[in-house]
Structure 1
Amino acid sequence: MKKIALSVLVIAGLFTSCGKKTEEAKAETIDLEALKGSTLNILAWEGYADASFTKAFEEKYGVTVKGTYFGSSDELVSKLQSGGGASYDVITPSSDVAGYIVSSDLVEPLATDELTAWATLSPVLKGMKDVQKDGKTYGMPFTWGPDYLIYNADVIKETPTSWNLFFDPKYKGKIAMYDDISSIYLAAQLLGYDKTDQSVLYNLTEEQLAACKAKLVELKPQVRKNWASAGELDNLFKNKEVVAAVGWPLTPANLNKQGMNIKAVIPSEGATGWIDRLMIVKGAKNKQLAQLWLEYVSQPAVMAQIAEFTQYYVSNPAANALLTPETQKLMDVASMDSMFKTLNFWQPVKNRKRYNEIWSEVKNQ
């Protein structure tokens, strides 16, 4: 068994070494001296510009990586439309708005032939059509993961089996929901609308939206806070304001490093999930540096660093062998394919304006 594990690590190491050499060869076609002192502006989900994996890039090229975090897909689109290439170079949209961003001509086509790790990225993720237009690809697959039911295992001793835990009177005022229309998806799952067709969550009728609204209004007395950022959710758990929430793997990853006992589960009703891409903004001031960033983060070693920090699944399968045994166990990497098939990944919502109206009505009622 040890010999097999060692072989995997050696192969992964050779792959990383070869990738590094090819990366350096590609970089030679760019005037690296001219890039020194510049700043790469990334508009991203929280955690995607952490120093644990940006520092080496900064030191290698003599640049600065500046991350501006957004809390929802709607906020991303709004910021992108307001500033675009004048403010940001790289963005990390999820699968619910990636297609809209491409069709709206807000991003540049990628030079995938210049990405040395492109051929080794997940074929399923690379093949998704929402970031393809006119024979060109506009997004590099980056990370993916679930919208978990996250809970404080020191308070909730038994593993929850249903999202209905949120309605338990014992936890009144101790629940946190995500301040986003994806809360409507959750209500729709509780109502069983996705049992025969997963896409129903993103195409709800007025009658179904009304029922989802009623379900969320019913939940309101249980909710301490609708969180807007991963950092805010972390604080809600740390301050013992909440004991359970909808959240991403980043929260237990962060809090358990601080000594807490936070766990995550996919309940019997299922869970939604997200697929994040990396895109270069149309008219980006630092397009060459942005291309170098995509080259850098697509390598197995860096993807592994990202997975270690976020506990999100990454798009380069070679990264999995480079994770610590502890992280492999926590992420249950062996069951990754099963997880991918289980999740109902966010899709574009044609009537997104109406969903936002319903969510606003819930919060204001």
Structure 2
Amino acid sequence: MSRTILLTTTLIAGMATTASADTLRLLTWGGYAPDEVIELFEQKTGHTVEVTKSNNEEMIAKLRATGGGGFDLVQPSQDRVMGPQMEFGIYKPIDMSKIDESLFIPSMLMATMANTTVNDEVYGVPHVWGTSGLVLNTAEAGDTVKDYTDLCDPAVAGKVTYRLKRPTLIGFAFAMGEDPFAAYGDEEKYKEIMGKVEAKLAECKPNVKTYWGGGDELMNLVRSGEVTASMAWDTGGWKLNDDNADITFVAPASGALGWIDTFVLPAKGQADDVAYEWINFVMQPEIAAMITAAAGNFTASAGADEYVEDGLKAKYQNSFPQEAIDNIKWYPPVPAGLEAIEGEVLDRVQAAN
């Protein structure tokens, strides 16, 4: 029996159980509700859990079709909460008095609450998260690359790769001292920021070996040594570290770019109390570590990294000291019109000589 299971079993043995047999209908992503976690929850509470695996698009479609019915807890990404709620009214507010806030990493909880607030009501709290930032071969790139714009440094010329996608625009903007998220409500200001980023990316183009399109392509470029500095996901960097200790994920000085999958209550959910129990249960550090083992990403549970497998814990703590966590730039909902601006910028960078 693993250390995590032993700790968790001991934890549960000391808790009172309830006789309620309410069922929690959970609409979530693969890996977010492992069988062993469900078993422990059912053992503790007497409730049952029915899991439907899905993704953002399907979650919204299912809830739209039923007006927010059919499920008791759903897990859309935080940028899929405010907009759908304002447009379709498919969620209900969260009663924060029923959430044990002490279980959460404070900066993540505050960011998600802010990004899911509609008419002064909070609709989401954070669960699983991940980031994009820098994946570097530190033996080759040395200390040269500390932020996104350092990918343009002559020291790594011809050894750089990133995507011609939205995260690159956002990352470069932050590294250039701008705040693109703060400009979301001002289209002209956003165009101005994107204009500066476009000029920088065009200037940087000779440094880029290739613009990667898929994860396998990226991993092969870094593994082969063709690329020593890239923009990529944290989990990709940690996976590469298993093969080469010199390669790792580094949180950029201006902040890694973060996504969070949330907990949200559907408008017509019928087991809110069970949903709150589930949230508080899975955010316990020992339980959250089990979810990390299944999903591959960390959760917003404070202290859960101490319970994950030692190798992954070391990589996480190396990439994310507390100041790097607090400096993550979390993606807010994208207003209409901005993606068109970004698309035009990316097209011009692609076409630039």
TM-score in terms of structure 2 length: 0.68
Aligned match of 1:225 in 211, 218, 240? Answer: 211
Measured in 1, the distance between the counterparts of 2:84 and 2:216 equals 26
Measured in 2, the distance between the counterparts of 1:16 and 1:102 equals 40
Please say if 1:206 is aligned against 2:199.
no
Aligned match of 2:339 in 353, 362, 365? Answer: 353
Cα distance change of structure 1 residues 208 and 322 upon mapping to structure 2, 3 Å threshold: closer
After superposition, residues 42-57 of structure 1 pair within 5 angstroms as 42=28, 49-50=30-31, 54-57=34-37
Residues 203-237 of structure 1, C-alpha deviations (whole Å, 9 max, x = no match): 54433322222222333451523446x56644553
Decide whether the 8 Å contact of 1:91 with 1:280 is kept in 2.
Answer: yes
Decide whether the 8 Å contact of 1:143 with 1:315 is kept in 2.
Answer: yes
Q: What stretches of structure 2 of length at least 5 have no aligned partner?
A: 43-47
Counterpart for residue 191 of structure 1: 176
Measured in 2, the distance between the counterparts of 1:248 and 1:84 equals 30
Aligned match of 2:53 in 54, 59, 66? Answer: 66
Cα distance change of structure 1 residues 167 and 109 upon mapping to structure 2, 3 Å threshold: same
Measured in 2, the distance between the counterparts of 1:232 and 1:363 equals 21
Decide whether the 8 Å contact of 1:84 with 1:106 is kept in 2.
Answer: no
Kindly provide the amino acid, as one letter, of the partner of residue 22 in structure 2: I
SS of the aligned residue for 1:317 comes to: coil
Measured in 2, the distance between the counterparts of 1:359 and 1:164 equals 17
Kindly provide the amino acid, as one letter, of the partner of residue 248 in structure 1: W
Q: Which moved more, 1:142-151 or 1:116-125?
A: 116-125
Residues 102-136 of structure 1, C-alpha deviations (whole Å, 9 max, x = no match): 43346422665797755533455444333234564
CA RMSD of aligned residues (A): 4.7
Q: Give the share of equivalent positions with the same residue, in percent.
A: 16
Measured in 1, the distance between the counterparts of 2:52 and 2:226 equals 34
Measured in 2, the distance between the counterparts of 1:208 and 1:232 equals 30
Please say if 1:103 is aligned against 2:86.
yes
Counterpart for residue 152 of structure 2: 167
Please say if 1:17 is aligned against 2:1.
no
Q: How far does residue 335 in structure 1 lie from its aligned partner after superposition? A: 7.0
Decide whether the 8 Å contact of 2:81 with 2:123 is kept in 1.
Answer: no
Kindly provide the amino acid, as one letter, of the partner of residue 104 in structure 2: L
Decide whether the 8 Å contact of 1:58 with 1:65 is kept in 2.
Answer: no
After superposition, residues 88-167 of structure 1 pair within 5 angstroms as 90-94=74-78, 96=79, 98-105=81-88, 107-109=90-92, 117=100, 120-127=103-110, 128-133=113-118, 136-144=121-129, 146-153=131-138, 155-158=140-143, 160-167=145-152
Cα distance change of structure 1 residues 179 and 66 upon mapping to structure 2, 3 Å threshold: farther
Q: How far does residue 150 in structure 1 lie from its aligned partner after superposition? A: 0.8
Q: How far does residue 55 in structure 1 lie from its aligned partner after superposition? A: 3.5
Counterpart for residue 22 of structure 2: 30
SS of the aligned residue for 1:256 comes to: helix
Q: Which moved more, 1:279-288 or 1:149-158?
A: 279-288
Decide whether the 8 Å contact of 2:145 with 2:151 is kept in 1.
Answer: no
Decide whether the 8 Å contact of 1:86 with 1:283 is kept in 2.
Answer: no
Aligned residues: 329
Residues 165-204 of structure 1, C-alpha deviations (whole Å, 9 max, x = no match): 423567566433245322212232343334xx98358854
Measured in 2, the distance between the counterparts of 1:16 and 1:358 equals 57
Residues 224-271 of structure 1, C-alpha deviations (whole Å, 9 max, x = no match): 23446x566445534656432212321122233345642122444x12
Cα distance change of structure 1 residues 145 and 99 upon mapping to structure 2, 3 Å threshold: same
Decide whether the 8 Å contact of 1:275 with 1:345 is kept in 2.
Answer: yes
Cα distance change of structure 1 residues 169 and 318 upon mapping to structure 2, 3 Å threshold: closer
Measured in 1, the distance between the counterparts of 2:294 and 2:8 equals 23
Please say if 1:254 is aligned against 2:239.
yes
Decide whether the 8 Å contact of 2:194 with 2:342 is kept in 1.
Answer: no
Decide whether the 8 Å contact of 2:104 with 2:301 is kept in 1.
Answer: yes
Kindly provide the amino acid, as one letter, of the partner of residue 178 in structure 2: Y
Cα distance change of structure 1 residues 176 and 189 upon mapping to structure 2, 3 Å threshold: same
Cα distance change of structure 1 residues 154 and 312 upon mapping to structure 2, 3 Å threshold: same
Q: How far does residue 19 in structure 1 lie from its aligned partner after superposition? A: 9.4
Cα distance change of structure 1 residues 356 and 183 upon mapping to structure 2, 3 Å threshold: same
Counterpart for residue 3 of structure 1: none
Counterpart for residue 273 of structure 1: 257
Measured in 2, the distance between the counterparts of 1:126 and 1:264 equals 23
Please say if 1:322 is aligned against 2:307.
yes
Kindly provide the amino acid, as one letter, of the partner of residue 345 in structure 1: W
Decide whether the 8 Å contact of 1:167 with 1:219 is kept in 2.
Answer: yes
Measured in 2, the distance between the counterparts of 1:62 and 1:306 equals 15
TM-score in terms of structure 1 length: 0.66
Measured in 2, the distance between the counterparts of 1:109 and 1:283 equals 5
SS of the aligned residue for 1:209 comes to: helix
Q: What stretches of structure 1 of length at least 5 have no aligned partner?
A: 1-8, 69-75
